[in-house]
C-alpha cells in the first residue's frame, strides 16, 4: 500500500468512526425528545454534570483527543466549535430534564435554545465530514456530495460489511429526466443550481446512514446499507414520488423535474463494476419506460 492509499484508508476509517458517532447521537436525540414529551424518567447519564462525555458521541470524540488523534483532525476548523456546541447541548438538555423531573413546565424558550444548538451541532458535524471527504479528493465541488472517485472505495467497504455482518445493502442509480432540455430552456447556471438542490433534496429525504454520490452530469448513485432489495424498492419509489411532487424555487422561479431510478442488491459475488453495470441497466429500463419510474433488478435479466 503506497503512502497515498494509507492516508486515504486512515481518513476513511475516521469517516466511518464519525458516521457511527453521528448515528449514536441521533439515537440519543430521539430518546431525549421521547423522555421530554412522554415524561419518562431521565437516565443518570443525561442528568450528570459531565453528560457530554458520557453519551456515545462524547465517548468517541474525547477518546480521539485523549488518544492523541486530535492532531489528525487539527485542520478541521470546527473541532473546538463541535466540542463547545456538544457540551452546551447536553447542559441545556440536563436543565430541561431537571425541570420536568421537578414537575415544572418545560420553558419554551429553553427548548427553542436546545433545538437551535442541536441544529448548529449537526451543521458542524457535516462540516467535519466535508473536511475529511475533501482530503480524499472525493467531494463533488458543485453539490458537496461524494464524487465518482469515491464510489469504488466506499462500495468495496460496504461489500466487506455485507460479508461480515450478513446484513443486506442496496444500490440505486438515479438519472434526472430530460435534464438536457432543462439546461437548454433555463441555462446552465440554473441547471447547476438545480443539481445542488436535488442533491440536498436526496440528503433530506434519505436516511442519515445512506450515502449519495454524483457520478455524472445529472446522475447520482445512492448506497442504502441494511436495506434489502424489496425495502429499497419501496424507499426509492417514495423518493421518486416526493421528487416529482416537489417544487424547487431557484432564483425566484418555481421549477420541477422527475428522475428515473434503477435498484440492485449489492452482492459480494459480483465485482463492483458489474454491480454498477447492472444498476445502470435497471435505470435505463426505467428511462425507456417513460421516465419517472423505479426499476428493481431481476436476476433473470442476467440471462438476456
Residues annotated as catalytic (active site), given as ranges: 218
Rounded CA gap, 162 and 224, in Å? Answer: 12
Give residues with Cβ within 8 angstroms of 253, minimum separation 6: 186, 190
Taking alpha carbons only, the member of 184, 270, 178, 166 closest to residue 225 is: 166
Identify whether the C-beta of residue 287 lies closer than 8 Å to the C-beta of residue 260. yes
C-alpha cell of 42?
Answer: 431521565
Q: Where are the alpha helices (DSSP H) in 136-169?
A: 151-165
The Cβ of residue 251 has, within 10 Å, a number of other Cβ atoms equal to 9
Rounded CA gap, 278 and 265, in Å? Answer: 10
Compute and round to an integer the Cα radius of gyration of the chain. Answer: 22
Strand partners, 176: 259
Identify whether the C-beta of residue 280 lies closer than 8 Å to the C-beta of residue 262. yes
Identify whether the C-beta of residue 255 lies closer than 8 Å to the C-beta of residue 186. yes
Amino acid at each position: 500500500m503506497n503512502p497515498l492509499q494509507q492516508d486515504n484508508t486512515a481518513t476513511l476509517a475516521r469517516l466511518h468512526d464519525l458516521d457511527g458517532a453521528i448515528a449514536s447521537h441521533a439515537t440519543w436525540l430521539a430518546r431525549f425528545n421521547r423522555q421530554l414529551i412522554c415524561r419518562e424518567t431521565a437516565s443518570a447519564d443525561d442528568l450528570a454534570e459531565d453528560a457530554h462525555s458520557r453519551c456515545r458521541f462524547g465517548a468517541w470524540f474525547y477518546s480521539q483527543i485523549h488518544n492523541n488523534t486530535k492532531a489528525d483532525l487539527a485542520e478541521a476548523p470546527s473541532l473546538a466549535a463541535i466540542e463547545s456546541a456538544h457540551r452546551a447541548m447536553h447542559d441545556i438538555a440536563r436543565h430541561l430534564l431537571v425541570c420536568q423531573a421537578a414537575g415544572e413546565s418545560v420553558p419554551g424558550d429553553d427548548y427553542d435554545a436546545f433545538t437551535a444548538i442541536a441544529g448548529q451541532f449537526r451543521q458542524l458535524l457535516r462540516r467535519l465530514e466535508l473536511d475529511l471527504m475533501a482530503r480524499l479528493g472525493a467531494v463533488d465541488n458543485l453539490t458537496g456530495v461524494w464524487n465518482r472517485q469515491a464510489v469504488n472505495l466506499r462500495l468495496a467497504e460496504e461489500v466487506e460489511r455485507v460479508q461480515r455482518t450478513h446484513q443486506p445493502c442496496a444500490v440505486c442509480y438515479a438519472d434526472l429526466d430530460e435534464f438536457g432540455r432543462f439546461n437548454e430552456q433555463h441555462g446552465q447556471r440554473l441547471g447547476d443550481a438545480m443539481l445542488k438542490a436535488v442533491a440536498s433534496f436526496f440528503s433530506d429525504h434519505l436516511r442519515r446512514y445512506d450515502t449519495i454520490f454524483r457520478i455524472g452530469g445529472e446522475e447520482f448513485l445512492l448506497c442504502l446499507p441494511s436495506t434489502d432489495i424489496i425495502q429499497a424498492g419501496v424507499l426509492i419509489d417514495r423518493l421518486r414520488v416526493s421528487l416529482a411532487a416537489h417544487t424547487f424555487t431557484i432564483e425566484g422561479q418555481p421549477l420541477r423535474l422527475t428522475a428515473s431510478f434503477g435498484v440492485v442488491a449489492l452482492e459480494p459475488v459480483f465485482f463492483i463494476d458489474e454491480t454498477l453495470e447492472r444498476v445502470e441497466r435497471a435505470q435505463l429500463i426505467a428511462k425507456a419506460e417513460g421516465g419517472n419510474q423505479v426499476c428493481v433488478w431481476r436476476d433473470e435479466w442476467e440471462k438476456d
